[in-house]
Amino acid sequence: MQALSQLKTLYHLTLSPIRGKTHEERLDSFYGGQADDYDAFRKKMLHGREALFEQLLPPVGGQWVDIGAGTGRNGELFGESIGSLAGATFVDLSSSLLAVAQRRIEDRGWTNAHTLHADATQLPLESDSVDLVTFTYSLTMIPDWFSALEEGLRVLRPGGTIGVVDFYVSRRYPADNRRKHAYWARNFWPVWFGTDNVHPSADHLPFLERRFETVSVSEHHGKLPLVPIIRAPYYRFIGRKR
C-alpha cells in the first residue's frame, strides 16, 4: 500500500498535467489527487521542518499563523505544547489540502486551531496581532513571495517571531557569511523544481535578513525520494519583527 501511495504521489508530481488560470486553480489541480498522501511522501524530501520547530517555542497564550500550511502537519511538530497557544491558524489557498488539515484538527482535538482559506499576500488578519508566523516550503510555491513575507511582517507584533524553511539557491556572489552554490546547482534546481511550480530563489535569505532581525540562519542539503546521489539545498531562518 505504501509503495502504491508513493507511486500515485510521484505520478501527480511528474506526469499529471497542472491546469487552471489562477494560482488557486493550479494548486488544487496539483494537490487534488495527492492531498491524502501528501505527508508520507514529502516527509522524505521536505527536510528541516522538525529542526525548525525544535528551535521555535510556541508563545504561551499567543497566536500562531502557519502560512501555506497545507495539511496542518506542522501542528504536530509542536506536540502537546500546541495546547498552550491561544490560537493556531492554518492558512492555505488549496481547498484540497485544507480539508486534510481540518480532519487533522478534529482528530487531534485541537480546539484552539482552525483553517483559513486565504491568499498569503492578502491575509484577513489585523496588523500586529500575531506572535509567531511560519512558512515551511511554501514561499517557493507563492508567486508573489515577497508580498507574502510583507504580510507576515504586517500581522506580526513588534518582537514577534518568523520561522522559515525552504528550498533555495545561492546568489552568484553571496554575502561573505553565506554558502556559494556551483553554477550547475544555481541553474539546475530552479528548472528541476519549476516543473511542479516550485521556484527556489536566490533572494529569499537576503530579503528575510533585510526585513527582519536575524535570530538564526543555517544552510543545508537534503535527500530527495527516489533520486540518488544529488542533494537539494534548503535553508532555515528564524527572525524577529523589529
**Residues 118-146: what's their mean pLDDT?**
97
Joined grid coordinates for residue 157: 507584533
Joined grid coordinates for residue 135: 512558512
Q: Which helix (H) or strand (E) holds 141?
A: none
Asked if residue 152 lies in contact with residue 139, where contact means CB atoms within 8 angstroms, the answer is no
Domain ranges of the chain: 41-240
User: Please, what is the average pLDDT of the chain?
Assistant: 88
Q: What angle do CA 18, 24, 26 make, to 5 degrees?
A: 5
Q: Per-residue pLDDT tens for 141-159?
A: 999 999 999 999 999 999 9
Q: What angle do CA 15, 48, 189 make, to 5 degrees?
A: 40
Please tell me which residue, 205 or 10, carries the higher pLDDT value.
205
The residue assigned the cell 522559515 is: 164
pLDDT surpassing 60 at residue 139: yes
Report the pLDDT value the prediction gives residue 42, as an integer from 0 to 100.
64
Q: Per-residue pLDDT tens for 54-102?
A: 999 899 999 999 999 999 999 999 999 999 999 999 999 999 999 999 9
Fold for 41-240, please state it: Rossmann fold (3.40.50)
Q: Per-residue pLDDT tens for 143-199?
A: 999 999 999 999 999 999 999 999 999 999 999 999 999 999 999 999 999 988 899
